[in-house]
Amino acid sequence: MKNFKSKMLFYNIFLNSSSISISVMEEFHDYTMMFLSAIITFIMIVMFKILKNKMTNYKFKENMNLEIIWTMLPMLILLMIAYPSLYYLYLFDLMINPSMTIKVLGAQWYWIYENFDSNMGTSYSSYMTPDNELIKQEYYKMGWRLLETDTRLIVPYGTEIQCLTTSLDVIHSFSIPEMGIKIDAIPGRLNSIIFQVNKPGLFYGQCAEICGTGHSFMPICMEAI
């Protein structure tokens, strides 16, 4: 039991990517960190040499070729970072053929899910499971405190899903970090996001916009089947 709790704690801290969106974000992060690490290393080496050497190199400070190089090189690096950034930004908004459309409505302080289908549509509310009800459940069904809900958002994995968000009162934010989802729910406005779950399982999230006294108690529990 102790080993199981430690594994779940490790899993909760270091979440794995479970969708194409978050995998692309991690890839872009690693790609950008490669440039940042090289730049920081070069600057530290130059600063160390300048501080260590008491002599002054005037050819280094007043060199036209070096001026051109360290003007053009940052421009080239920025272009190499900007192109994949804009490409991925466009890719996240690209909708090819979603097999399912979900409408998420934020309210104080719970979520309302509406599933649209060609034959029928269903709507249901999702509230946080109170502690007194959570401890009554069996251990393997208990879930995470302040993250488990009485009704889960059920989605199929391996398919493209469109999520529409809006709000009934104030601004909320529908956020599931493990899926790379974070979209604002604004009253009178319909925002859209596309995601695809790579594997079945439970994925937790919370409202990421301060929406009142119950802001900390409107979790999101999505189950991919």
What pLDDT is attached to residue 111?
A: 92
**What is the pTM (predicted TM-score) of this model?**
0.71
pLDDT tens profile 159-215: 888 889 999 989 999 998 888 888 899 999 998 888 888 888 888 888 988 988 988
pLDDT tens profile 17-45: 667 777 788 888 889 999 999 999 988 99
Contact between residue 19 and residue 196 where contact means Cβ atoms under 8 Å apart = yes
Q: Which pair of tokens denotes residue 138?
A: 């069996």
122 or 138, higher pLDDT: 122
80 or 17, higher pLDDT: 80
Contact between residue 162 and residue 139 where contact means Cβ atoms under 8 Å apart = no
Per-residue pLDDT band at 15 (split at 50, 70, 90):
low
Give the integer Cα–Cα distance in Å for 14 and 177: 11
29 or 96, higher pLDDT: 29
Please say if the pLDDT value at position 100 is more than 70.
yes
Q: What is the mean pLDDT of residues 55-79?
A: 80
CA distances to 35, 101, 192, 223 from 154, rounded to whole Å, are: 40, 12, 18, 5
DSSP symbols for the chain: -HHHHHHHHHHHHSPPP-BHHHHHHHHHHHHHHHHHHHHHHHHHHHHHHHHH--S--HHHHS-HHHHHHHHHHHHHHHHHHHHHHHHHHHHHH--S--SEEEEEEEETTEEEEEEE-SS-EEEEEE-BPPHHHHTTS-GGG---TTT-BSS-EEE-TTSEEEEEEEESSS-EEEEEGGGTEEEEE-BT--EEEEEEB-S-EEEEEEE-S--STTGGG-EEEEEE-
Give the integer Cα–Cα distance in Å for 123 and 115: 7
